[in-house]
Chains A and B, each alone.
Chain A
Amino acid sequence: MKDSVIILIVLLVFIIGLDVYSYYYLKNTAADISRSIEELPETINREDWDKAYSSLARTTKKWSSVKGVWAVLINHDEIDNIDMILARLKSFVKYKDVNESVAEYREFKEVVEHVPESQRFSLVNIF
């Protein structure tokens, strides 16, 4: 009886701890990625394509470094989706398409920032 209470408490603490840690990890890394790409629309509007491409490379690098941990915490469909948007964005910047690049940038930012929100402990997410 005493053993099962201890196991119960340990498991509860583990789950709550993991939840809090994973939420803050996702929130911080998502904010990081989102910040690293923030200047992209401005450079695209100025048609400074080299700078846009290099800032995109920075974001890709950052994304690759956190992707492994994200894969443990969230649905893999979301990771594939982010990969896909990033590939499209790169291609639009490479071929210097202003409209499509800016639209794809908005989508990328939206999707990345939505991930920690979807993992947050809230009534909306439970039901």
Chain B
Amino acid sequence: MLVIFIRALILYALVAIVMRVMGKQQIGELQPYELVVAVMIADLGAVPMQNTGIPLLAGIIPILTLLISQLALSYISMKSLKGREIICGTPTVLVEKGKLLEESMRKERYNITDLLEALRNQGYYNIADIEYAILETDGALSVIPKVEKRPVTPEDLNLKPEYEGLPLPVILDGEVNYKSLAKLGKDHPWLLSQLKSYNINNISDVLLASLDENGNLFVQAKEDTK
């Protein structure tokens, strides 16, 4: 029983590390070759986990092999354009200048229902509003609406909004993130003085505080200290 327990722990740690090394792509949108790796790793980890008759190495080696191949393929697809085309494929234009391209849709075996569904998912309910729709290599659909149907931007209205920058969390769960604080050019005493205006005397009472580049502070205290 404990043997299986420890084996499961080891394989879990290994698969978690491997997935982490493979990069963030593995968790979100997968390229075809990455999907294959994710599915195979799941199976390779599961079998030796429960079957003590199989040496643990028989599960570990193939998982590491897949990791190596995946890293090699992503290296090739990063370095060579041709390699990327072969490994990941190329995006396909499904709608061009408001017209459905039947031939491309047939080639990708993408039917009209799929297209309408993907468009609706992105908030376009009328196919007449679409100028371009492109099927990306990871299977996601990118949509460019017709000019008169796209959302208004401040530029269209001749507005010049103030620069916002990136708001950074400076206190998370009662702990100061000195890195973000220094990045925004503030220090600990400044933070304490700001917290006083929110009636908070102790940093550990803060659930979240975030600061943007204009110096606006957002503070929320922990519930039990109120």
- Which residues of A are interface residues toward B (Cβ below 8 A)? 15-16, 18-19, 22, 75, 118-122, 125-127
Contact = CB atoms under 8 A, between A and B. Distances in A.
A16 B1 CA distance: 8
A127 B55 CA distance: 6
A22 B4 CA distance: 13
A15 B5 CA distance: 8
A119 B53 CA distance: 11
B38 interface: no
A127 B56 contact: yes
Contacts of B57: 127
A54 to B, nearest CB: 36
A120 B6 CA distance: 12
Nearest to B55: A127
30 contacts: A15-B1, A15-B2, A15-B5, A16-B2, A18-B1, A19-B1, A19-B2, A19-B3, A19-B5, A22-B1, A75-B52, A75-B53, A118-B52, A119-B1, A119-B3, A120-B3, A121-B2, A121-B3, A121-B6, A122-B3, A125-B3, A125-B52, A126-B3, A126-B6, A126-B7, A126-B10, A126-B56, A127-B55, A127-B56, A127-B57
Interface of B: 1-3, 5-7, 10, 52-53, 55-57
Contacts of B5: 15, 19
Nearest to A14: B1
A16 B52 CA distance: 17
Nearest to B7: A126
Q: What 3 pairs between A and B have smallest CB-CB spacing? A: A19-B1, A19-B2, A121-B2
A126 B56 CA distance: 7
Contacts of A121: 2-3, 6
Contacts of B2: 15-16, 19, 121
Contacts of A16: 2
A74 to B, nearest CB: 10
Contacts of B55: 127
Given A15-B5, A19-B2, A119-B3, 10 more contacts: A15-B2, A18-B1, A19-B5, A118-B52, A119-B1, A121-B2, A122-B3, A125-B52, A126-B10, A127-B57
A122 B10 CA distance: 14
Best-surrounded residue of B3, B55, B56 (most CB of chain A within 10 A): B3
Nearest to A22: B1
A126 B10 CA distance: 10
A10 to B, nearest CB: 14
B92 to A, nearest CB: 46
B50 to A, nearest CB: 11
A18 to B, nearest CB: 5
A72 to B, nearest CB: 11
Nearest to B53: A75
A37 B2 CA distance: 31
Contacts of A18: 1
A75 B2 CA distance: 15
B98 to A, nearest CB: 54
Contacts of B52: 75, 118, 125
A126 B55 CA distance: 8
A22 B57 CA distance: 26
A17 to B, nearest CB: 9
Contacts of B1: 15, 18-19, 22, 119
